[in-house]
Structure 1
Amino acid sequence: MSADHYFTAEPEAPFRRGEIEFSVAGRNYRLAVASGVFSAGRLDSGTAVLLRKAGLPGPATEGTLLDLGCGYGPIACVLASEAPATTVYAVDVNSRARELTAENAAKLELGDRIRVAAPDEVPGDVTFAQIWSNPPTHVGKAELHAIMERWLPRLAPGGTAWLVINRNLGGDSLHSWLVGNGWTVERVASQKGFRVLRVTGNSAD
């Protein structure tokens, strides 16, 4: 077995390609996947719950959106498809994930609006109307909190973050931690062991 994790920057696992299919909001998607990238065999259950239960953007949505921890790009591709007036940053530490996301965006003719980047490549002055994330809980609580501390303050005024997290891997703990750090958090859904959280306005700002 490979020691690679989906948050490995340069996966060493052989590049074994595949495809997955899924539907969101009446649209069908067929995306390229590969070994060494999170949930390469299917659409991850948490991502599926997030896309089904969170408030997807629509044609009237404007601004810049963020898919944080994009993997091969399912969330970024859905956001860009549903909200054609937006630009979507698809951010991942995994170089193979970024390559697949760029390929999938191009195949769906979304490459002009999906900007694939490593975390440090996102310009510091960019803020986000929405942040979407199925964060990597297996990195540990301290690293997960550091990810939230880095990216949530980049919400634009009035912006919203949609997070999905496994209840058994710290979903309720993250909810409490966010509230303790001044964020307004609403649990909008619980399904298949996952919590969908809507995060807004940091009262400490």
Structure 2
Amino acid sequence: MPVDDEQPPFVRRSRRIGFRNTVWLGCFDNIVGNNGTQVEDYLLLVPHGDHLDMLTGVSVLPVVDGRVLLMRVYRLGTERWNWEIPRGFVDPGEAPDVAARRELTEETGLSCSDGGLVPLGFYTPENSTIRARGALFAAVDCRHVQERDMSEMGLGQIEWFALDEALALADRSGIEDASTALALYRYARHLSHG
């Protein structure tokens, strides 16, 4: 079994920045494997700023009276509507729980009590091409505090589901977003071990 301090099976010979926007650098790396195989222009997305342990995003599962909130979101990458939980970027220097609360309120108009944010661990969104990690949370006993901020492109309607209904939706691939599915399964497991 490999250990975390084991040497990688390749070396980066060079890096060229191909593009940048307000969040990402698009890097093209020249990598050479220990077996001599070479890949030029290997695409890697690297976030701007100082993110502790590559933590760049949060996803938060809102829960009220045992029901979970899912949002319809149109994503350009897949060019289709998806069921997702609120999620977004962690600003450089921002604590993940603060980012989770901010995203929850912005995207749903909800907030939760100080003890209502339940950590559900971490995930990597696509670790072959994105240098990033995300933190997952459940926000229990949410309450409405303001109107949703609908300025983010792609946000659609919200709907409340019984947890079993949301899990069944994920089981039949009605939820394809990795952070949403993982948060649902981890929250269900959290409840069963509560």
The TM-score, its normalising length taken from structure 2, stands at: 0.27
With CA pairs under 8 Å and 6+ residues apart, which has the higher RCO, 1 or 2? 2
The TM-score, its normalising length taken from structure 1, stands at: 0.26
In proportion to residue count, which structure has more helix? 1
Asked which structure has the greater CA Rg, the reply is 2
